[in-house]
Amino acid sequence: MFLLLLYIIPVAAQQTTREISGKVISAEDRIALNGATIRIKNTNQTTLTDSSGNFRLMAGVTSLFLQVSHIGYQKADVFVDANSKSLTIILEVLPAQLSEVMVSTGYQVIPAERATGSFVQIDNKLLNRRVSTNLLERLEDVTPGLLFNKAKSTGDKLISIRGQNTIYGNAGPLIVLDNFPYDGDISSINPNDVESISVLKDAAAASIWGSRAGNGVIVITTKKGRYNQGIKIGFNANTTIGEKPDLFYQPRMSSADFINVERQLFKKGFYLNAENGYNNPAITPVVELLIAQRDGQISAEQSNSQIANLANNDVRNDFSNYFYQKSINQQYALNLNGGNDIQRFYISGGYDNNRNDLVANGLARYTLNAGQSLSLLNKKLEVNTGFYYTKSNTTIDNPGTNLIGLKTGSGVSLYPYASIVDAAGNPLAITHDYRQRFIQSAQQLGLLDWSYKPLEEISLGDKTQNSLDYRLNIGLNYKIRPYLSMAILYQYGQTITNGRNFQSLKTYYTRNLINNFTAVDSDGQLAYAIPRGSVLDLDNMTATSQSVRGQLNFDRHWLDKHSLTAIAGYELRDFHTVANSNRSYGYDDEHATALPVDYITLFPQYAIQGSSTAIPYNNSLTDLTDRNISYYANAAYTYLQRYTISGSARLDRSNLFGVKTNQQGVPLYSVGASWNIDKADFYKMQWLPYLRLRATYGYNGNINKRLSAFTTAQYLTGNPINTVYAEVVNPPNPELRWERVRIVNIGLDFASKNNVISGTIEPYFKRGIDLIGDIPYAPSTGITTFRGNTANTQGKGIDITLNSQNLRGVLKWQTNFFFSHVTDKVIDYALKQPANFYTDYSDNEVYPLQGRPFYALYSYEWAGLDPQTGDPRGYLDGKISKDYTQILASATADNIIYHGPARPTSYGAIRNTFIFKQFSLSANISYRFGYYFRQPGISYSNVLSGQGYYEGRYSERWQKPGDELATTIPSMPDVINNGRDSFYNYSSATVQKADNIRLQDINLSYEFNKNSFPGFPFGKLQVYLYANNVAILWKATKTHFDPDYPAANYVPVKTIAAGIKADF
């Protein structure tokens, strides 16, 4: 009996407790919620959900309530009866959900509340607000810290995150697509296939990507299916129409002014050399008329009458009517997704058809995205497969108008009175390379027609570029324990690009080339060094990437106090590029045959007497291999859901760098901490229920693949002694190291009661260390500069985000505002260039100067126009001077004027969204402050050479005393003075502040759904209108130039889009 009692009592005690388990998911999209808090009501017993949304805890056998909460979701009290053991808890999204909930780093998905680093999460709704076939464009003016570099200051990268952190390395952010780096063209990604984008801005966020994260990381996650979801069908279609470009935006010299200059030059005998030139240079129609009048071939009255008719022409009208058109972009996307308890899938197809604003140019793109996940072995093993395919065909038959005009040897100059069509719209020939009488005489001898008809060239064009991009992803994730899993990921990707430029015998390029390599013997027989036939250029490139990753994932919560998330892994990557270019002469497109040519012999040029040259050889081969090995780890520990510390480390190794083993790899790391102040015992501010402080410190890296630890040489041909010889580009550098960027980031996140106001304030400080730079080198070594780890930079800035719910109820009004400020400067750089490098080029190329930003505006000091002569004046030895040669010669990097950055230092946007029932109206106003631009000046050396068409400010020039009060454009000199032109064009007279505010876009939509329209056949149908590039609201400059596009032929046009989006 005693033993029986001992047995019964423990059994009875065991029945007083039970295990309750379950899963917490979002009501909006059924996604598992990681880090949700589960508390037994009226007790201190709590736990957190894991990365799969699962939880379990011990409780009594009686009925009870569970209090469930998660940031961005409404709290829920869930009744659990005495018999319940397994639950599915669904949380509703708060009406004013915080913008950052879950963040993808490309290695893991973590709740923003447990992340110490700086992230921006762009969800699907915000991505779809902008209508564009280009994914990158959808990030503009909605992403704090992300700047779109425009016009000349674009440099080699369109975007930058928190400024620039390298001088000669890759200045663009790393693009990550579905967990792996993406080296293809981001414009090939269909925006309709993207679920979300995470922008990683500081060391704690980005250091997991190591040596490629120095300029930030953009993580793109494509759409996936969901478990336990019925089949859903989605469709999106839209059409965007853009205005025809305004070719009158940039001032050009008028036909009347151009003709007056030609008359002046003719009187001075300027064209005599051209008349008798050995190279038969082109002469404009007006000058030909003046020659004919002088030689008595026509009367003065006939000459004046014909010239007067020409003066009424403006070639831009013909360009606008026949070369340009309204752009039309069409986009169609269809997707199917769903899943059950063990399987989920997503498949989508897209078609884009873009008609360019240049007649005959366009793009057709086809995309396919397919993915599937299987949950096996009692949900311990998940198998993921994905396939993404993009094919695009680009047509480039219209080269634009920049090359139309006279080819004088020193550039192309168009005469503004040219006509490219006759009254009936038929193509007309214009003067181009050679004088008309030379063309006629050559044709009489049997050479090909040498006339040039620009409009005809469009119809003859046959230039295409076809690209194919596909990626295959395979992933295995095995759950070893509820808190421990192992993942293996593999990706195979390939990008194939094929360019084809078929130039038939009818094209001017081919006729001109064949004619110039044609010889006429004494009997009038023609010998063709280049066979009569077409010319075919082919450019092919295949880039193959393979990546494999093994990773351990740890995510555990215990004792209702502790939470630890960690990953560790190993990664291998191979990127192989093979490219080739070749040209075929005498090509027969029907039979795909070509004829051989002699590339060695120098052939006399028919049009240029006494000149001989080889037939152009356009064949090349490229073979590049890039391999990387990486080790990485990341961990974050949270205590009492209040304090979090994080750490990240990565070691990248590459044979690209130093011959010393310890320099072939670079260790990069970060540490961070956060404090949820609102959860502290002393915190009592009910009006501010969410307050969190973050801080991080660490290093990111950067790579310059153009340098090596070994001697770098370039092999060339054409040496008279050796057919092939090598030229040293950079001497050996066994001390070559990876570039590093040290970043300190501090963040304060807050939200008022009911999220009426929420936001983030993030100041940061950064320093570039061991950057690749140039230093002077002894000329006796064969080089004058040495490129190595010789430079350092520093920067600082702040990102501020504010979101407010201004009105709730039937009429909703929400405001989203962000402000970003960043300054960068070079602090260590030994090499100083001549002053003109900074004045002429530093607004669009990096010419580092210690203490200055990467891109900047410099100029010569301006002393105004001479009131009597209109000459530009500067300063020499502190005195007003017109000695331009000495002013330029005495200028140094130290005494020229520094105006400021050429890129904005402060930028941001404010977006207001109004919702009334099913209507939604959103408008985005962007601003860019703290930078400068140089407006176009005037080059009288071009004017006085008969090439003044592009000198559109000629009409603003000083012409009489007193004009200096209304203009800064100098008077026209009697003779060419290059120093005078250079001084004026790069003086402070041409510098303007670029600050501006724009109404960037407007979005209007109406939504039909079953709640508002019972019996509606669709789950949801949205009709929308979108306008982009709406207007400049204010600009600091009083000139007519757009400060972001002062040198462009035309500014980006306004576009209007209309579309529908349906869910079944």
pLDDT of residue 661: 53
pLDDT of residue 171: 87
How far is the C-alpha of 104 from the C-alpha of 765, rounded, in Å? 24
Residues 1057, 131: contact at Cβ < 8 Å?
Answer: yes
pLDDT of residue 7: 35
The CA–CA distances, whole Å, from 891 to 22, 776, 835 equal 75, 20, 6
- pLDDT tens sequence across 905-925: 999 999 999 999 999 999 999
How far is the C-alpha of 347 from the C-alpha of 367, rounded, in Å? 11
How far is the C-alpha of 759 from the C-alpha of 1002, rounded, in Å? 23
How far is the C-alpha of 466 from the C-alpha of 863, rounded, in Å? 54
- pLDDT tens sequence across 970-1020: 999 999 999 999 999 999 999 999 999 999 999 999 999 877 777 777 788
Whether pLDDT at 15 is above 70: no
Q: Is 954 helix (H, G, I), strand (E, B) or coil?
A: helix
Output phi, psi for 363, to 5 deg: -140, 135
Whether pLDDT at 336 is above 60: yes
Please indicate, yes or no, if residue 8 is contained in any of the structural domains. Answer: no
Residue 182: exposure state from Cβ atoms within 10 A (0-12, 13-18, ≥19): buried
How far is the C-alpha of 758 from the C-alpha of 753, rounded, in Å? 9
Paired with 261 in beta bridges are: none
pLDDT of residue 870: 97
How far is the C-alpha of 452 from the C-alpha of 510, rounded, in Å? 12
- pLDDT tens sequence across 474-517: 999 999 999 999 999 999 999 999 999 999 999 999 999 999 99
Last residue of a domain, one of 40, 63, 91: 91
pLDDT of residue 849: 94
More confident residue, 42 or 1002: 1002
Q: Is 930 helix (H, G, I), strand (E, B) or coil?
A: coil
Whether pLDDT at 225 is above 70: yes
Give residue 295's Cα distance to chain centre.
Answer: 57
pLDDT of residue 12: 37
How far is the C-alpha of 541 from the C-alpha of 579, rounded, in Å? 4
Place of tokens 């909006």: 28
* CATH for 39: 2.60.40.1120
Can you give the residue range of the structural domain that contains 50?
16-91
pLDDT of residue 434: 93
Residues 533, 586: contact at Cβ < 8 Å?
Answer: yes
Q: Is 614 helix (H, G, I), strand (E, B) or coil?
A: coil
Helix (H) or strand (E) holding 337: strand 327-339
C-alpha torsion sign, points 173, 174, 177, 179: negative
Residue whose C-alpha is closest to residue 259's, from 416, 410, 412: 416
- Under the banding of pLDDT at 50, 70 and 90, the label for residue 723 is low
pLDDT of residue 657: 53
pLDDT of residue 37: 86
How far is the C-alpha of 32 from the C-alpha of 839, rounded, in Å? 57
Whether pLDDT at 14 is above 50: no
- pLDDT tens sequence across 93-135: 765 444 445 788 889 888 877 789 999 999 999 999 999 999 9
Residues 431, 285: contact at Cβ < 8 Å?
Answer: yes
pLDDT of residue 717: 64
Please indicate, yes or no, if residue 746 is contained in any of the structural domains. Answer: no
- pLDDT tens sequence across 403-455: 888 876 556 789 999 999 999 999 999 999 999 999 999 999 999 999 999 99
Mean pLDDT of the chain: 90
How far is the C-alpha of 828 from the C-alpha of 772, rounded, in Å? 11
pLDDT of residue 55: 86
Please indicate, yes or no, if residue 288 is contained in any of the structural domains. Answer: no
Place of tokens 């030379």: 438
Residues 193, 225: contact at Cβ < 8 Å?
Answer: no
- pLDDT tens sequence across 612-631: 999 999 999 999 988 889 99
Q: Phi-psi region for residue 1026, left (φ > 0), alpha (ψ -120 to 50) or beta? A: beta
- pLDDT tens sequence across 512-555: 999 999 999 988 899 999 999 999 999 999 999 999 999 999 99
More confident residue, 265 or 205: 265
Helix axes 300-311, 255-267, angle to 10 degrees: 140
Q: Percentage of the chain with pLDDT > 90? A: 72
Which DSSP letter does residue 616 get?
Answer: P
267-276, 661-670, 700-709 — most confident range: 267-276
Please indicate, yes or no, if residue 269 is contained in any of the structural domains. Answer: no
Cα of first residue to Cα of last residue in the chain, in angstroms, is 69
Residues 797, 764: contact at Cβ < 8 Å?
Answer: yes
Place of tokens 């919620």: 33
- Under the banding of pLDDT at 50, 70 and 90, the label for residue 212 is confident
Last residue of a domain, one of 91, 117, 139: 91
Q: Are strands 86-91 and 17-26 parallel, antiparallel or unpaired?
A: parallel
pLDDT of residue 454: 96
- pLDDT tens sequence across 560-617: 899 999 999 999 999 999 999 999 999 999 999 999 999 999 999 999 988 999 999 9
How far is the C-alpha of 450 from the C-alpha of 513, rounded, in Å? 10
Helix (H) or strand (E) holding 1030: strand 1020-1035
Residues 180, 491: contact at Cβ < 8 Å?
Answer: yes
Output phi, psi for 304, to 5 deg: -65, -40
Q: Phi-psi region for residue 992, left (φ > 0), alpha (ψ -120 to 50) or beta? A: beta
Residue whose C-alpha is closest to residue 365's, from 179, 186, 581: 186
More confident residue, 821 or 717: 821
Residues 26, 35: contact at Cβ < 8 Å?
Answer: no
- pLDDT tens sequence across 734-761: 778 889 999 999 999 999 999 999 999 9
- pTM (global) more than 0.75: yes
- Under the banding of pLDDT at 50, 70 and 90, the label for residue 271 is very high
- pLDDT tens sequence across 865-895: 999 999 999 999 999 999 999 999 999 999 9
Whether pLDDT at 28 is above 80: no
Token pair for 35: 């880090």
Residue whose C-alpha is closest to residue 700's, from 200, 219, 220: 200
Which DSSP letter does residue 4 get?
Answer: H
Please indicate, yes or no, if residue 218 is contained in any of the structural domains. Answer: no
Please indicate, yes or no, if residue 747 is contained in any of the structural domains. Answer: no
Domains contained in the chain, number: 2
